[in-house]
Amino acid sequence: MNSSPPSRRSVLRWGAGAAGVSALSALTGCGQTVGAARTTRQESTRPGQKVNLVFWTWVPMQKTVDLWNKTHPDIHVEMQTIPASTGGGYQKMFSALTAGNPPDLAQVEYQELPAFMLVNGLTDLSSYGADELRDKYVPWQWNQGVFGGRVHTIPQASGPMGLFYRQDLLAKWGIETPATWAEFEKAARVVKARGNGARLSAFNPNSPAWFAAMCWQRGARWVHTEGDTWIVGMNDDRSREVAEYWQRLVRDDLVFVEPDLSSGWYRQLQTGQVVTWIGPQWGDALLRGNAPGTKGKWRVAPLPQWKAGQNASANWGGASTAVLQGSRHPREALQFAHWINSDPKAVDLNIAVGYGWPAATGVFEGSALDKPDPFFGGQRYNDVFTASDRAIDTSWKWSPTTDADFAHLGDAFGAAMAGEGTFASALADAQKRAVDDLLAKGLKARSQS
């Protein structure tokens, strides 16, 4: 993740200044009091005593951890692989916090951090010197883990969005790379007519995080805080516009309706049945690893825009390295968290396994990201993601019930696919349920008027 030019240093107000205090107030003012079974404290060590840390992650970073252990013999890190994202990994973390036996460190996505703050699940790293590291990271990613002016995680990576596309197939069918969503729809109609069963793209009704990124790019705000109250706006005009757009593409059979990142979808990438993917930068490794026969045929373009001439992007994914509440070696854990996300050799190893767009500054030049790539026909495709990262609206915020919000939206999309309602009505249903969930946590919440 990249050293990045100054323009990447746009500041996210979530967690910074007054907004950070407001967010913390909204999380703690009247929320749950249930928390971790034990509190972080620093244990003293004897001279020469080796410290052992446990690190939970779903990214295959064993080579990076091995490098740490080789170069830091006094602090040994054991990496344990957990289920990716919400598929059990977070449940395991919350259970460990409740039981009082958490790992020292864990990979926690940005959208999950408010939920961990709600149960006092993260160590206040400002107490161990984390504030001194602030300038080493892109501000908007750094501030994802800052609540009430206190640092609670070290940022790892993000997922600026772009359009991966098969240049050879678009050229075959006489299609210009879509620069707007209207052009994307027009291209989808051409592919349906000429593509012998191919489709321009796929829509996954079970990927609310992806759909959130689409609404993010449109300028929607699904949640924000006013004082100690959460305001939920999943059903705003801009989100409904996005929903109606994709509803039309599905209705007119212009896209496949199927899970992306699945074996069937990867097979369609290999055979040219799926021609584009609206995806994050970390998707490059997935394309290389699962569609090797298409090497040299892919290119990357900016996201299509809602109006010609606009320059709006969004983020899908992104995670931090957190020191969970209950660690007995927080200083050493912080040292490792900073190293794994900022050391140039560590970052290069992480990039190779698709961990995302680096949060650390000063690591882009000369890294694996900073060169033409044969898989993408020699394109310096990460220049597209550099620009995408600059264009992300960093005022987007996450709710402490994001997992439940995504589950509600996925269920409602599934019902719409079965003929029960529409994508737009799914947003209205998810919004109501999101407010109910926040209230059930003991937090103040209401729908956006």
The yes-or-no verdict on residue 429 having pLDDT over 70 is yes
Bridging pattern class, strands 51-57 and 75-81: parallel
* CATH topology for the 6-159+316-390 domain: D-Maltodextrin-Binding Protein; domain 2 (3.40.190)
Stretch among 86-95, 330-339, 378-387, 429-438 having the lowest mean pLDDT = 86-95
- Residue 85 pLDDT: 60
pLDDT tens-digit profile of 37-46? 899 999 988 8
Q: State both tokens at 363.
A: 């690591």
- Residue 8 pLDDT: 25
Q: Which DSSP category does 262 fall into?
A: S
- CATH 3.40.190.10 domain residues, the chain: 6-159+316-390, 161-314+396-447
Report residue 391's pLDDT band, with 50, 70 and 90 as the boundaries.
very high
Q: Which DSSP category does 104 fall into?
A: S
Are 341 and 142 in contact by the 8 Å Cβ rule? The answer is: no
- Measured between alpha carbons, how far is 431 from 435 in angstroms, rounded to an integer? 6
- Measured between alpha carbons, how far is 317 from 445 in angstroms, rounded to an integer? 25
Tell me which of 3.30.2130.30, 3.10.620.30, 3.40.1110.10, 3.40.190.10 is the CATH number of domain 161-314+396-447: 3.40.190.10
Report residue 30's pLDDT band, with 50, 70 and 90 as the boundaries.
very low
Are 167 and 297 in contact by the 8 Å Cβ rule? The answer is: yes
- Residue 362 pLDDT: 85
- Residue 119 pLDDT: 93
- Residue 13 pLDDT: 27
Q: Residue with structure tokens 């509190």?
A: 39
What's the whole-number average pLDDT of the chain? 91
The count of other CB atoms within 10 Å of the CB of residue 70 is 8
CA dihedral of residues 17, 20, 21, 27 (deg, nearest 10): 180
The yes-or-no verdict on residue 9 having pLDDT over 90 is no
- Residue 326 pLDDT: 97
- Residue 327 pLDDT: 97
CA 215 to chain centre: 14
- Residue 36 pLDDT: 87
The yes-or-no verdict on residue 32 having pLDDT over 50 is no
- Measured between alpha carbons, how far is 443 from 435 in angstroms, rounded to an integer? 9
- Residue 6 pLDDT: 26
- Measured between alpha carbons, how far is 10 from 305 in angstroms, rounded to an integer? 21
Report residue 188's pLDDT band, with 50, 70 and 90 as the boundaries.
very high
- Measured between alpha carbons, how far is 263 from 267 in angstroms, rounded to an integer? 6
- Residue 28 pLDDT: 56
Percentage of the chain modeled with pLDDT above 70:
92
Q: Which DSSP category does 334 fall into?
A: H
Percentage of the chain modeled with pLDDT above 90:
84
- Residue 3 pLDDT: 32
- Residue 26 pLDDT: 67
- Measured between alpha carbons, how far is 193 from 176 in angstroms, rounded to an integer? 16
Bridging pattern class, strands 229-232 and 75-81: unpaired
Report residue 16's pLDDT band, with 50, 70 and 90 as the boundaries.
very low
pLDDT tens-digit profile of 284-327? 989 999 999 999 999 999 999 999 999 999 999 999 999 999 99
The yes-or-no verdict on residue 29 having pLDDT over 60 is no
pLDDT tens-digit profile of 231-275? 999 999 999 999 999 999 999 999 999 999 999 999 999 999 999
**70-77 CB contacts, 8 Å cutoff, 24+ apart:** 72/336, 72/339, 74/48, 74/50, 75/50, 75/51, 75/329, 75/332, 75/335, 75/336, 76/50, 76/51, 76/52, 77/52, 77/53, 77/105, 77/336
Q: Which of 5, 22, 27 is nearest to 115 (CA)?
A: 27
Could you give the 3-state DSSP secondary structure of residue 423? Answer: helix
Mean pLDDT of 428-436: 97
The yes-or-no verdict on residue 86 having pLDDT over 60 is no
Mean pLDDT of 123-148: 95
- Residue 366 pLDDT: 81
The yes-or-no verdict on residue 24 having pLDDT over 90 is no
Backbone angles phi, psi at 230, to 5 degrees: -90, 130
